[in-house]
Amino acid sequence: MASTSHRALRLLSLLGSRRQWSRRDLAARLEVSERTVRRDLDTLRELGYPITTVRGPDGGYRLGTGHTLPLLFDHDQALAVAVALQTAPSTVFGLQDDTARALAAVQQAMPETLRAAMESLRLTQLQNYWEFPAPPIDPAALSAVGSAVRHRRVLVAELLRPDGTRPAPEDDDFTTAGLEPHHLVVWAARWYLVAYDLDRRQWRVHRVDRLHPRHTTSRFGHRDVPGGDLAHFVMSSHDRGDVLAAWPCTGSARLRLPAHVVARWAPGGSVVEHLDADHCRLTLGAWSWAGIAGILATFDAHLTDLHPPELINACRKLAHRYAAIPRE
């Protein structure tokens, strides 16, 4: 009986994790027969859970709407929630206290075994040398952008300065944009909005922390992201609004590579400038001039117009050092 009850709770958890399941998939996940799944579904219905049967070749089972279900997590889901809530505060302003309270509330609603597992997973985050996330975002701004994406509403927003300050309407750099917000993306601890700019009539990638949402207007239709690959479009867009991170040493070089190639592989906190179809300028930092020279070498491209002189000297020293390596 205990095994049946445990399986029924796991079945309910599976049904709550996605919109629809086939009986075969449920049987495979529970490692039981399809007949047993059918019996367990009947048991859940008798207990009052709104399980709907979907007819047709793509049919299956789903949870009905309009009912409140208890928190139903298995061991792995409980650990995933614990990790997510402990790593969320770094990218959004003011969430540290809220996520701590949310984690405590979720733990209190868990059975003893799952609560013990969650409490045992206490994380300490350490930033490595190459992590340069954007400043945390105001939850209200993130919610406004996310709502515009979800409801497919044109978003009118002010563009903030690189330092995050907001120009006044009488300032020369005061700018607003009408955007069709299609996707909200998180990459390298930075939030980006992938949108079609109605004024420029082109796709843009905006840092969400550089937007001040004002209001939304009319609904818009579907557009395909250039190339059809969202991840590639974001990573290869050199004009993402990123700014140079603070380093002890900062230098730049002209590379014989397209900007979209360098943008995809440049370390966080660097800036890629488009020069022409075959060249770009990469500005980046490191804890030493040799460090910058080493990063530039990873692109395996012709380099010119290096600045400052310290970087040129570091590249020459690195070249001599490599040339002196004995041949086997």
pLDDT, tens digit, for every residue of 163-173?
Answer: 889 999 999 99
| Residue carrying the six token digits 């117009």 | 305
Q: Cα 96 from chain centroid?
A: 18
pLDDT score recorded for residue 107: 77
In whole angstroms, what is the distance from residue 62 CA to residue 308 CA?
Answer: 63
Residue ranges with strand state E in 111-201: 153-159, 176-187, 190-197
Contact 307, 251 (CB under 8 A): yes
207 bridge partner residues:
192
Would 1-63 and 249-324 be classified into the same CATH topology? no
Contact 22, 55 (CB under 8 A): no
- The CATH code belonging to domain 1-63 is 1.10.10.10
pLDDT score recorded for residue 94: 66
- The CATH code belonging to domain 249-324 is 3.30.70
Q: Which amino acid belongs to residue 202?
A: Q
Contact 187, 254 (CB under 8 A): no
pLDDT score recorded for residue 2: 44
pLDDT score recorded for residue 213: 96
Contact 86, 99 (CB under 8 A): yes
Domain map of the chain by residue range? 1-63, 75-120, 139-236, 249-324
Identify which of 82, 61, 65 has the alpha carbon closest to the alpha carbon of residue 11: 61
- Give me the residues of the chain with pLDDT under 70, please: 1-5, 17-18, 58, 65-72, 89-90, 94-95, 109, 125, 127-131, 133
What does each C-alpha distance from 73 to 19, 103, 281 come to in angstroms?
Answer: 16, 14, 49
pLDDT, tens digit, for every residue of 290-309?
Answer: 999 999 999 999 999 999 99
